[in-house]
Amino acid sequence: MDQTLLTTLIVNGSAVTRRVPARQHLSDFLRDELGLTGSHTACEHGACGACTVRVDGAIVRGCLMLAVQANGRRVDTIEGLSDSGELADLQAAFHRRNALQCGFCTPGMLMAAQDLVTTRPEATREEIREHLSGNLCRCTGYQAIVDAIDDVLAQRRGAKT
Amino acid sequence: MKAASFSYVKPAALNEVFDLLARHGDRARVLAGGQSLLASLNLRLSAPELLIDITGVPGLAGITVSGGTVRIGALTTHRQIERSPEVARHLPLLAQAVRHVAHVAIRNVGTFGGSVALADPAAEYPACAVALDAILVLAGRGAERRVRAREFFRGLYDTALQPGELVIAGEFPVSGEAYRSAFLELARRRGDYAIVGIAAHARLAAGRISDARLAFLGAASKPVLALRAAALLEGRPLDAQAIAAAQATLEDDLELPADLYSSRATKLQLARVLLGRALGALNG
């Protein structure tokens, strides 16, 4: 039988405590236990980036972290970032630039994009591509995604001056 | 896929880790960042009964410089190495290499010690450690020992680690002013494991190259120094002729086993191209 451990984490600002099977990864915990199905699971070995979430402010692969490893930590998902309005300009730019088609990769793309625009506001197109190299999209060919992020970088730089 | 069932424990001291390893032997695996281990568990390539999470053990993370040595603690993340001014200043080879380690979301979690202990032949740090003649600090119950990286890596996922031992740090010698570094790799996608890569470190003075350490990754079952190429370059002006001669001798230096995607001939060609670019970068 699975060993379970009492695990407490702050998910999108709210404390959550559950008994969690040791082997359950963070993405399954968020999706199956908390109903936060915005983080997607596809490859489940760290190649595709669809499960990207933030733990203590840094983006990570939800499929490569056990839920019990997140004990005592702050987890932010696409739902939290979307509800708070933190992603509003990125979401609008993705819409405007047609930067999604099926949308499966989009939550992970937005999490990675937000990490870039907050940590590297001067990023070039080449650096955008480098930063997104861990997120696969099978629809768009990436060009429109890079365009959308490039727009937001320019907007946020403009808003500051 | 999902990992098979296992138990999880997060000890707060190194002695507890050693006790657990002694009790559970090879039924237990050590979990640091888990960026390779959890992937292999999800794929059911491995099914340990117990994961020992060592990230609660104090004192194993961080970068310190003293007496001509940069010490990198096992739990230091790739991201910390990437952002470290000490690494940028004293270990430019490692600073270049870390940007090739997977992707940001993985670099935020994966650790130096985890990468070294796994010993993937296409990984970046092992080749850098071999090129820079680093020392790996291994700890077991009641004993610590230091092993040269050149002796630590023994083969495919095979190292000098004994049962019950952990990598706790790497110690890199700071090289002199005249030394230059170049790290290059070719991968199908940025952040993927390299098809072939090179960690090059050499002294350049008055236009001549000496003490060249040309460590290749992805070229054998472990990181390997191109010794013939280095010997051929010793003391020569680093001109087109010298570079071509070094490239020509790589065939004898490197094993270059074919993999699913690349034949030996392809890998040899890529290795030669990378050597040329790396030597050019050292000269630039």
DSSP chain A: ---EEEEEEEETTEEEEEEEETT-BHHHIIIIIT--TTS--SSSSSSS-TTEEEETTEEEEGGGSBGGGGTT-EEE-HHHHHHHTTTHHHHHHHHHTT--SS-SSHHHHHHHHHHHHHH-TT--HHHHHHHTTT---SSS-SHHHHHHHHHHHHHHHHHH-
The domain spanning residue B160 has which CATH number? 3.30.465.10
The domain spanning residue B18 has which CATH number? 3.30.43.10
Give the per-residue pLDDT at B220. 93
> How many C-beta neighbours within 10 Å does residue A124 have?
11
What value, to the nearest 5°, has the Cα angle with vertex B221 and ends B39 and B41?
Answer: 15
Boundary residue ending a domain (B131, B148, B173): B173
Chain-chain contact of A134 with B105 (C-beta, under 8 angstroms) = yes
**Hey, what are B57's tokens?**
């053990």
Q: Give contacts of A 35-54 with B, CB under 8 A.
A: 44-46, 49, 52
Q: How many residues would you count in chain B?
A: 284
Taking residues B22-42, report their average pLDDT: 97
Chain-chain contact of A1 with B105 (C-beta, under 8 angstroms) = no
- Is there a single domain that holds both residue B191 and residue B272? yes
Residue B2 domain-assigned? Answer: no
Distances in whole angstroms, Cα of residue B132 to Cα of each of B76, B89, B121, B179: 19, 15, 17, 11
Residue B6: closest C-alpha in chain A: A23
Give the per-residue pLDDT at B278. 98
Chain-chain contact of B3 with A25 (C-beta, under 8 angstroms) = yes
Residue A58: closest C-alpha in chain B: B108
Q: What is the pLDDT of residues B161-204, one digit of tens each?
A: 999 999 999 999 998 889 999 999 999 888 888 999 999 999 99
Q: Are B249 and B228 in contact (CB under 8 A)?
A: yes
- Is there a single domain that holds both residue B279 and residue B188? yes
- Is there a single domain that holds both residue B150 and residue B186? no
Q: Which of the residue ranges A51-55, A157-161, B80-84, B270-274 would you say has the lowest mean pLDDT?
A: A157-161
Q: How many residues would you count in chain A?
A: 161
Taking residues A66-91, report their average pLDDT: 98
- Which top CATH class is A87-160? mainly alpha
**What's this model's pTM, rounded to 2 decimal places?**
0.96
Q: Which of the 8 DSSP states describes residue B50?
A: E
Q: What is the pLDDT of residues A19-54, one digit of tens each?
A: 999 999 999 999 999 999 999 999 999 999 999 999
Angle between helices B240-253 and B264-283 (to 10 degrees): 140
- Is there a single domain that holds both residue B257 and residue B235? yes
Residues of chain B in contact with residue A45, where contact means CB-CB under 8 angstroms, are: 39-40, 42-43
Give the per-residue pLDDT at A1. 66
Tell whether A115 is within 8 A of chain B (Cβ).
yes
Taking residues B101-126, report their average pLDDT: 97
Q: Which of the 8 DSSP states describes residue B174?
A: P
Q: What is the pLDDT of residues B198-228, one digit of tens each?
A: 999 999 999 899 999 999 999 999 999 999 9
Tell whether A69 is within 8 A of chain B (Cβ).
yes
Count of the separate structural domains present in chain B: 3
Alpha-carbon Rg of chain A, whole angstroms?
A: 16
Give the per-residue pLDDT at B190. 84
Domain ranges, ordered by start, for chain A = 4-81, 87-160
Give the per-residue pLDDT at A161. 64
Give the per-residue pLDDT at B176. 86
Q: Which is the CATH superfamily of the domain at A4-81?
A: Beta-grasp domain (3.10.20.30)
Q: Alpha carbon B205 to chain centroid distance?
A: 27
Cα separation, B186 vs A159, in Å, equals 39
Taking residues A10-22, report their average pLDDT: 98
In B234-263, where does DSSP find H-type helix? 240-253
Tell whether B27 is within 8 A of chain A (Cβ).
no
The helix, strand and coil proportions of chain B, stated in percent and rounded to the nearest 5, come to: 35, 25, 35
Chain-chain contact of B7 with A22 (C-beta, under 8 angstroms) = yes
> For an interface test with B, which of A2, A25, A45 has the most B Cβ atoms less than 10 Å from its Cβ?
A45
Give the per-residue pLDDT at B193. 86
| Domain encompassing residue B42 | 7-54
Average pLDDT, chain B: 96
- Is there a single domain that holds both residue B185 and residue B147? no
- Exposed, middle or buried: residue B253 (CB in 10 Å: 0-12, 13-18, 19+)? buried
Chain-chain contact of A58 with B6 (C-beta, under 8 angstroms) = no
pLDDT band at B259 (very low <50, low <70, confident <90, very high): confident
